[in-house]
Chain A
Amino acid sequence: MAGGFRVLTVSQLCRYVKALLEERQELGDILVKGEITNLSYRQSSGHLYFSLRDDGGLVRCVMFSRYVQKLPDIPEEGDFVLVRGAASLYERDGAFQVVTYDIQPLGEGQGKQSLDALKKRLLSEGLFAPEHKRPMPRFPHTVGVITSREGAALRDIAKAFRLRGYAGRLILYPCSVQGEGAAASILRALRRLEEEGLCQAVIIARGGGSAEDLSAFDDEALAYGVYNCPVPVVSAVGHEIDVSILDLVADARAATPTAAAGLLSPDREALRQRVLGSQTSLRARALDQVRRRKLRLLEETRLLSARSPRQRLEKNRQRLGFLVRLLVDAERRRIGETRGRTLQLLRQLELLNPAAVMRKGYAIPMVEGRVLTTVKGLSPGQKLVTLVADGEIVSTVESWKGNV
């Protein structure tokens, strides 16, 4: 299998590389400056372990107790120091390291110092201003995710969206989240997202990777990119201790990618309720519109018929009828009165008719062709004719006597 090659054990390789490093004179006594991180001081052994870092790299350092004892102070995490030592390799871990003889403080870590200065400057330029923070869209249909293709962030975000019943579109704009050029890579992804203009919000997530290397999220250009992004940005860098510049400039900050998804996915049940509510209102309002018109129609119809010519005609006809009735009544009354008077006259006439009187037993005496009304002028033997109702009686006057 390994034809022509010499097979090495791991230990042999480590020893070989260590020897290579240690035989280089220029690496045998070096001065290195950097920021102290991952500091660990073991009281039991008295050895000091730490790493030195700057913008581009990191190197492990060990300082054995006999040198540590000579230090006036044990350095602290974040200190910016100058280290004197020799390059070497820690065989057990195959780790490149600097065996340190002396540590000189150089003031605060330059990285931290410059980071603080950058934060201060961005703050004064208003990049973190609360009034610039945009609210999250309530119902984003498309959400951009800027994270690494390999990390767990996209998976976590998708899972959280599915759990909430979010039925939209997630677009991954892949980037690298750590190492050289990570900030530029994130910024390129953000630019692409802006160019496409499909997303209503964007989540920038770290999603795995070293918790130590957050430098990509402390980048000034990225800060301005996020500040000027046309859609709201959620930072899901998720680091408990350090607040990154991205966290400060983003419109919302989530502790985890899952929490970021929660900020952006509307609850499907809430949406359903909203639709149902709208349906109910629609029905009620449509019915109300019809009902209101019906009432108005009824009212108008009433008014209209009250003012119609037919109605006036009817009114006049009624009045006419009334007048005619008055007239007829008057006429009737007049006729009745006339007849009554006539009858009365007739009755009076009847009473005066001599024939009628005679039927009641009265008689009319006549002498010499004249009605006899007095005893004066009578003479015996005179012929007296008495008229009765049905004839006449002829008699002779014998004697008479006047009423005295």
Chain B
Amino acid sequence: MEEKQTIEQSLRRLEEIVERLGGDTVSLDDSLTLFSEGMKLSQRCMKQLDEAELAIEEHSVS
């Protein structure tokens, strides 16, 4: 649970990738890498959104 990226983190990274991909200075190699990372990330986000369930826990206090 902890090591998994949260949807928020994934979305932020995704939007960062989109931003960088729109830049003038990014190399072609980098842009291809960015593209494939972005697509993978967005598919993972979708999967996370579709499959995730609300989890309820109780933590003891002192």
Contact indicator B7/A158 (Cβ below 8 Å): no
Count of A residues near B, CB < 8 Å? 42
Contact residues in B for A169 (Cβ distance below 8 Å):
1, 54-57
Known interface pairs A275-B11, A285-B18; A173-B52 also in contact (CB < 8 Å): no
Produce 1/0 per residue, A136-147, CB < 8 A to B. 011111000000
**A141 partner residues in chain B, CB cutoff 8 A:** 6-8
Bound Cα distance from A137 to B7, whole angstroms: 13
Known: A167-B48, A289-B21, A289-B31. A174 touches B58 (CB 8 A): yes
Give the chain A neighbours of B11 by CB distance below 8 A.
139, 271, 274-275, 278
Considering the complex, give the chain A residue whose CB is closest to the CB of B36: A286
Question: Is A167's CB under 8 angstroms from B46's CB?
Answer: no
Q: Return chain B residues, CB-CB under 8 Å to A193.
A: 59
* Contact code string A68-109 (vs B, CB < 8 Å = 1, else 0): 000000000000000000000000000000000000000000
The total of interchain contacts (Cβ-Cβ below 8 angstroms) comes to 114
* Those of B1-47 within 8 Å (CB) of chain A: 1, 6-8, 11, 14-15, 17-18, 21-22, 26, 28, 31-32, 34-35, 38-39, 42, 45-46
When C-beta atoms are compared, the residue in chain B nearest to A154 turns out to be: B56
**Known contacts A158-B54, A170-B54, A172-B57; A285 and B46 CB within 8 A of each other:** no
Q: How many Å lie between the Cα of A279 and that of B21 in the bound state?
A: 12
When A and B form their complex, which 3 residue pairs have the shortest distance between CB atoms, in order from nearest? A167-B52, A139-B8, A286-B35
Q: How far is the CA of A268 from the CA of B49 in the complex (A)?
A: 7
Inter-chain contact A167/B54, CB cutoff 8 Å: yes
Beyond contacts A282-B38, A288-B22: 13 other A-B pairs, Cβ-Cβ < 8 A, are A167-B48, A167-B52, A169-B55, A171-B58, A173-B59, A173-B61, A174-B60, A271-B45, A275-B14, A278-B18, A282-B18, A286-B21, A286-B34
Closest chain-A Cβ to B22's Cβ sits at a distance in Å of 5
B58 near A285: Cβ-Cβ < 8 Å:
no
**Which chain B positions have C-beta within 8 A of A293?**
28
Question: Which residues of B are found within 8 Å of A271, using beta-carbon distances?
Answer: 7, 11, 45, 49
Sampled A-B contacts (13; CB under 8 Å)? A161-B54, A167-B49, A175-B61, A185-B61, A192-B60, A272-B49, A278-B15, A278-B17, A281-B18, A286-B21, A286-B35, A289-B21, A293-B28
Minimal beta-carbon separation of B43 from chain A (angstroms): 8
Residues of B within 8 A of A275 (CB): 11, 14, 42, 45-46, 49
Q: Does A166 contact B (CB under 8 A)?
A: yes
Cα A158 to Cα B8 with chains together (Å): 20
Inter-subunit contact A282/B17 (CB<8 Å): yes
Given A139-B6, A286-B31, the answer on whether A167 and B21 have CB atoms closer than 8 Å is no
Residue of A nearest to B28 (CB): A293
B28 & A171 in contact (Cβ 8 Å cutoff):
no
Closest to B12 in A: A139
Contact: A189 with B61, CB < 8 Å? yes
In the complex, which residues 147-187 of chain A have their Cβ closer than 8 Å to any Cβ of chain B? 149, 154, 158, 161-162, 166-175, 185
Residue of B nearest to A140 (CB): B8
**Which of these, B14, B42, B53, B61, contacts A192 with CB under 8 Å?**
B61
Contacts of B1 in A (CB 8 A): 169
B52 → A minimal CB distance (Å): 3
A290 at the interface (CB under 8 A from B): yes
User: Which residues of chain B are within 8 angstroms of A289 by Cβ–Cβ distance?
Assistant: 21, 26, 28, 31
What is the CA–CA distance of A8 and B14 in the complex, to the nearest angstrom? 74
Nearest CB in chain B to that of A288: its residue: B22
| B7 neighbours in A (Cβ, 8 Å) | 139, 141, 167, 271
Q: Which residue of A lies closest to B6 (CB)?
A: A141
Enumerate chain A residues within 8 angstroms of B6, measured Cβ to Cβ: 139, 141
- Chain A contacts for B60, CB-based, 8 A: 174, 192
A282 to B56, CA, bound (A): 35
